[in-house]
Amino acid sequence: MTHAGAIIWAQWRTFCHFNPRRGVTWTALVSLIWYGIWAAAAYSFLRVFSNPNELSIIRIALPGGLLLIFLYWQVVPLMLATTGSSLDLRKLRAYPIPDAQLFSIEVLLRITGGIEMVLILTGITIGAMLNPGLSRWSVLAAFIYVAFNLVIAVGLRDMLGRLLARKRIRELVFFLVILAVALPQLLLARQGMISPQLRLLVTRDAWSGWPWTATSNIMLGIQFWPSLMVLSAWTVGTLAFSRWQFSRTLAFDSDAANAHDTGDNRRSWWSEWFFYLPSAVFKDPLGALIEKEFRFLARSPRFRLVFLMGFTFGLVIWLPMVFVPRGPLGGFFVRNYLTVVCVYSLMLMSEVCFWNAFGFDRSAAQFYFLAPVPFKRVMAGKNLTALFFMLLEIAMVTAVCAVLRMPLGLHRFAEAYSVAAVVMIFLFSAGNLLSIRQARGVDPGNSIRTGTAGRLQALLFAIYPITFAPVLIAYLARYAFGSQAALYVVLGLDAIAGLIVYRIALDSAVRTADLTRESMIAALSTGVGPISN
Amino acid sequence: MHQGDGAPAIEIRDLRKVYGDKAAVDGLTLTVPQGCFFGFLGPNGAGKTTTIKMLMGLAPPSSGSIHILGLPMPERSLEIKQQIGLVPDESMLFDHLTGGEFIEFVGRIYGLDRALARSRAYELLDLFELGSMPKKLIAEYSKGMRKRVAMAAALIHRPKLFLMDEPFEGVDAVGARLMKDILLDQVRHGATIFLTSHVLEVVERLCERVGIIHEGKLVAEGLMADMRGTAETLEDAFVRALGMENAAETLDWL
């Protein structure tokens, strides 16, 4: 694995150069907290699984738990529109590296999509090894189950990546993925409890042909050899599938795949009307700036995917909470479904609208500094564009809620939109500063790769609680005074404070951009290492 | 004796690359002998980069055949890649490595051991006059410096064949002179160079053979002296080959 050593070394050097010393420390600190929480959870699992008195619970929960691990590893990254680290094949294909080695490295990189699950499985396995009531072969089962998850993650990622690179079928594939993700939740929600269909997947008497039930059976000491054969067969089968998908990705030519669109210069009247809309409202150069943003973002696959996710995934994820209105939490979600989904959509959209406003169309950043337009107006153009798409997103969420006959009403509209407005003001403030200080180039054509660098993720870890604090205070006021009016009064005060913060942040961002334009343009014009996030 | 000895460095037969209903490369047939300095010219969008991408194994041809150093591409791509040095477009560099680190990385990918790759990397940095800034990241390099570091990386494993996509783009006169001297030295030692370029003066001075591609088809190919013919410069011959002698028009308001 000489090549693997060289690639990992180059990536390590890239990481060291990419993150200044302060950034490395900060990223390490946040990672320590995040993975510390998961390590604590893993230790809890270790305690439970090592306790012989908990065998009855373990027997019931283990198959479903292993299925959740599988889903976390394979599906959650898709919901967050990220699939962890992967090789930048565009740069490595030109060199004499055997495909098999590239595949092996890619499989190992899939660990980055599920480190949390490796920790949990480690806790479960050590616990099982210490428990006399569980099988000593648990470590073998866990090892094969991890291998199965790593290998299938490569195949799914490659297949999805290629499909999402094709212009005309991208959206269709995306909806199929949503459907696949939504199905188990909807089955649960409609039955109110575990349905017969789900029983086949997750319970102790589930079909023993699933990889998670086979793993569970090995750990529980049930049908060892048949279960081992089932698990091995799944792993070998997915290995063949993933190897095939990886080869197809290596040979994939995205230019050829999208060639049918290149000659089509016809423009529909409505899209042109949509693009000209800003110029009808704002005078040039602001109108021209916003029109350019409209055109660019609407043509960016990455943006379109996130926009689509905003009003689809959000609804799907929170839907079961509405169908299961038991307890105070269920009741809260019924009352505040629209608000929760709107805020979730804003969070999803923030990556493409707030945190890195110059990253998508990075070549334009240089033009902004050269053009005879005040930079403040450029920022205003970016913010107005983001505002438009945010409002459109919320409108789509509302429309879908109405189609699904979700509980809506005037007061729910008012509350959801007020909360979303306040959150947006604070997101804009933080986003303007981050867009200048943490500018980095993003591939607008890449649908599934995350655009969030480690250091920015660490910053967001701290920024989100701050941006949501004003809304939280408003809800606390409603709780304390028992009045909806209290909520609106505090939200109003939040909005005023937010606008002041926005003004200060905008001025600061413009000053910073003026002082750091050189480093900002350099940061926007750079690519990544052999492994990209 | 190596299988490829005596065979042309590059042998392309009826190569086609079709995107949708448009052929970017359309029936290209070309032979580049070993030890030749070959310039591949054409206007923007003519198919130069698509051709070089197919030669590098980055894009599969729609039809036709490619043999490099006597070996079929892509069937023997690993052996071929081991023997060629690439100067690809700038996006293929790793921006957050220093020049030395990038060259060392490429050396290791070509199978050099780490110590040798490192020592050669720093010798090459000095040769290309990049050694005075060892800690500077490629991201901070100028366009010309990026081309220089790409060329230095292409040399590290002493390849028999160089495939270069616009190697002189953005390079200053001193840098270009340095690169030209190094390339000519490589050709003197038996290497073959296949380069695309817009800088016709450079091609005219360096290349012994030239091919001109236009709308995916090879419209002219031969020795430099034959290509120039009665024309004063290669630029005149180039424009004539494309049939664009009287193409320039101006706008009324301009």
Q: Is A446 helix (H, G, I), strand (E, B) or coil?
A: coil
**Rounded-to-integer distance, Cα A482 and Cα A312, Å:** 33
Distance between B160 CA and the closest CA of chain A, angstroms: 15
From the CB of residue B209, how many other CB atoms can be counted at a distance below 10 Å? 20
User: What is the ipTM, given to two decimal places?
Assistant: 0.81
Are A191 and A295 part of one and the same domain? no
Domain match, A228 and A295 both: no
- Range A307-313 average pLDDT: 78
Other beta carbons within 10 Å of A462: 10
A334 falls within a domain: yes
- Maximum pairwise Cα distance, chain B: 66
Phi-psi region of A168 (alpha: psi -120 to 50; beta: other; left: phi over 0): alpha
Q: What distance in Å separates the CA atoms of residue A191 and residue A318, rounded to the nearest whole number?
A: 16
Which amino acid is residue A72, in one-letter code?
A: Y
Structural domain for A495, as ranges = 277-528
pLDDT at A532: 62
Closest by alpha carbon to A359, among A402, A296, A304, A305? A296
Residue among B19, B57, B93 minimizing CB distance to A93: B57
DSSP track, B39-101: EEE--TTSSHHHHHHHHHTSS--SEEEEEETTEEETTTHHHHHHHEEEE--GGGS-TTSBHHH
At B37, which helix (H) or strand (E)?
A: strand B37-41
**How much is the pLDDT for A451?**
46
The lowest-confidence range among A88-97, A226-235, A496-505 is A88-97
- When CB atoms are compared, the residue of B20, B57, B60 closest to A263 is B20
Minimum Cα–Cα distance from A518: chain B residue: B140
Contacts of B102 in chain A (CB under 8 A): 10
Model pLDDT for residues A437-478, shown as the tens digit of each residue: 877 777 666 655 544 555 666 677 778 888 888 989 988 888
Question: Backbone phi, then psi, for A435, in 5-degree steps?
Answer: -60, -30
Top pLDDT among A131 and A274 is at A131
Instruction: Give residue A504's pLDDT band: very low, low, confident or very high (50, 70, 90).
Output: very high
Interface test with A, best of B22, B97, B140 (most A CBs within 10 A): B97
B210 within 8 A of B222, measured Cβ to Cβ:
yes
Rounded Cα–Cα distance for residues A470 and A429 (Å) = 13
pLDDT at A236: 96
**In the block, residue with structure tokens 């953005």:** B170
> Are residues A188 and A119 both part of a single domain?
yes
Does residue A126 belong to any structural domain of this protein? yes
3-state helix, strand, coil in chain B (%, to 5): 40, 25, 35
Domain check: are A336 and A229 in the same one? no
Rounded distance, CA B224 to CA A336, Å?
A: 77
Contact by Cβ (8 Å): A231, A144? yes
B70 vs A268, more confident: B70
Q: How close is the nearest chain B Cα to the Cα of A373, in Å?
A: 25
pLDDT at B2: 43
Closest CA to B121 of B145, B99, B139: B99
CB contact at 8 A, B220 and B211 = yes
- Give the pLDDT mean for B57-82: 90
Q: What is the pLDDT of residue A263?
A: 47
Cα A193 from Cα A208, distance rounded (Å): 22
Q: Is the Cβ pair B96, A18 closer than 8 Å? A: yes
Cα–Cα distance list, A520 to A419, A533, B140 (Å): 33, 20, 12
In percent, the amount of chain A with pLDDT more than 70 equals 78
Residue A116 is encoded by which pair of tokens?
């949390």
Residue B208, both tokens: 């012994």
Of A194, A227, A256, the residue that ends a domain is A256
Q: H helices within A404-483, ranges in order? A: 410-437, 454-481
What's the pLDDT at A20?
Answer: 55
Q: How far is B233 from chain A (nearest CA, A)?
A: 35
Q: What is the mean pLDDT of residues A19-24?
A: 58
Question: What is the helix (H) or strand (E) element at residue B16, kind and residue range?
Answer: strand B10-19
Secondary structure string (H, E, C) spanning B177-228: HHHHHHHHHHHHCCCEEEEECCCHHHHHHHCCEEEEEECCEEEEEEEHHHHH
What pLDDT sits at residue A526? 63
Statement to judge: residues A296 and A209 lie in one domain: no
Q: CA A458 to CA A278: how far, in whole Å?
A: 35
Residue labelled with tokens 């707030």 = A354
User: B164 is written with which tokens?
Assistant: 């270069």
Could you tell me if A121 and A188 lie in one domain? yes
Distance CA B49, CA B54 (A): 9
Nearest CB among B78, B81, B139 relative to A522 is that of B139
What is the distance in angstroms between the Cα of B236 and the nearest Cα belonging to chain A? 32
| HSE value, Cβ hemisphere, 13 Å, CA-based, for B14 | 2
Question: In the numeric block, which tokens belong to residue B12?
Answer: 């392309």
Q: Is residue A215 part of a domain?
A: yes
Cβ of A526 within 8 Å of Cβ of B139? The answer is yes
CB B62 within 8 A of CB B17: yes
How many Å apart are CA A85 and CA A90, to the nearest integer? 14
The answer, yes or no, to whether residue A199 has pLDDT greater than 70, is: no
Query: Which pLDDT belongs to residue A189?
Result: 56
The identity of residue A355, as a single letter, is W
Comparing C-alpha atoms, which of B165, B189, B179, B183 is closest to residue B56? B165
Strand partners, B65: B13
- Choice among A312-321, A435-444, B30-39 with the minimum mean pLDDT: A312-321
User: Residues in chain B, how many?
Assistant: 254
Judgement on whether residues A293 and A207 belong to the same structural domain of the protein: no
The per-residue pLDDT for A215 is: 94
pLDDT of B188 reads 92
Q: Tell me the nearest-neighbour CA distance from B166 into chain A, angstroms.
A: 17
User: Is the pLDDT confidence value at B15 over 50?
Assistant: yes
> Which CATH number is associated with domain B10-242?
3.40.50.300
A86 φ/ψ angles, rounded to the nearest 5 degrees? -155, 160
**How many angstroms separate the CA of residue A159 from the nearest CA in chain B?**
19
Residue pair A446/A302 in contact (Cβ under 8 Å)? The answer is yes
**Alpha carbon distances (Å) from A120 to A40, A41, A234, B66:** 9, 7, 21, 51
* Chain B residues with beta carbon closer than 8 angstroms to that of A6: 105, 108-109
Looking at the predicted structure, is the pLDDT value of residue A311 above 70?
Answer: yes
pLDDT at A235 over 80: yes
Share of chain B above pLDDT 70, in %: 96
Q: What is the average per-residue pLDDT within B201-226? A: 88
More confident call, A368 vs A138: A138
Whole-number Å distance between alpha carbons of A204 and B2: 63
**A245 in the same domain as A308:** no
pLDDT on residue A239: 95
What is the overall mean pLDDT for chain A?
Answer: 80
CA A210 from chain centre, in angstroms, equals 27
For the segment A280-285, the average pLDDT, to the nearest whole number, is 83
Q: What is the pLDDT of residue A44?
A: 94
Place of tokens 């003066």: B201
Q: Which residue has the higher pLDDT, B4 or B176?
A: B176
Q: Whole-number mean pLDDT of chain B?
A: 87
pLDDT reported for residue A204: 60
Residues A215 and A352 in one domain: no
> What's the pLDDT tens digit per position in A252-262?
776 666 665 54
What is the chain B residue with the closest CA to A250?
B58
Find out whether B195 and B38 touch, Cβ atoms under 8 Å: yes
Looking at residue A194, its pLDDT comes to 52
Question: What pLDDT is recorded for position A319?
Answer: 67
Instruction: Say if the Cβ atoms of A97 and B109 lie within 8 Å.
Output: yes
Task: Report yes or no: A140 and A180 within 8 Å, Cβ to Cβ.
Answer: no
Instruction: Tell me which DSSP letter residue B170 carries.
Output: T
In a domain, A263, yes or no: no
Work out how many domains chain A is built from and give that number. 2
* Boundary (domain end) residue, out of A207, A225, A256: A256
Q: Is the pLDDT of residue B246 over 80?
A: no
A211 vs A199: which has the higher pLDDT? A211
Torsion over CA of A393, A395, A397 and A402, rounded to 10 degrees? -170
Check whether residue A237 and residue A317 sit in a common domain.
Answer: no
Which residues are registered as beta bridge partners of B66? B12, B73
Which residues in chain B touch residue A95, judged by CB atoms under 8 angstroms apart? 81, 106, 109-110
Could you give the 3-state DSSP secondary structure of residue B155? helix
Res. B1 pLDDT band, cuts 50 70 90: very low
Q: Which of B18, B58, B108 sits opposite A6 (nearest CB)?
A: B108
Q: Check whether B170 has a pLDDT greater than 90.
A: no
Structure tokens at A19: 């993150």
Rounded mean pLDDT, A283-308: 83
pLDDT surpasses 90 at A17: no
The pLDDT value given to residue A76:
66
Whether residues A252 and A281 share a domain: the answer is no
A213 - beta bridge partners?
Answer: none
Res. A80: pLDDT tops 60: no
Of how many residues is chain A composed?
Answer: 533
Q: Is A54 exposed, middle or buried (0-12, 13-18, 19+ CB in 10 A)?
A: middle
Q: State yes or no: pLDDT of B129 exceeds 80.
A: yes
Q: Which of B83, B101, B109, B135 has the highest number of chain A CBs within 10 A, making it the mutation to test binding with A?
A: B109
3-state secondary structure A249-292: HHHCCHHHHCHHHHCCCCCCHHHHHHHHHHHHHCCCCHHHHHHH
pLDDT band at B3 (very low <50, low <70, confident <90, very high): very low
Q: Are A39 and A167 part of one and the same domain?
A: yes
Render pLDDT for A391-412 as a digit per residue (tens, 0 to 9). 888 888 888 877 777 767 788 8
Q: How far apart are CA A385 and CA A298, in angstroms?
A: 11
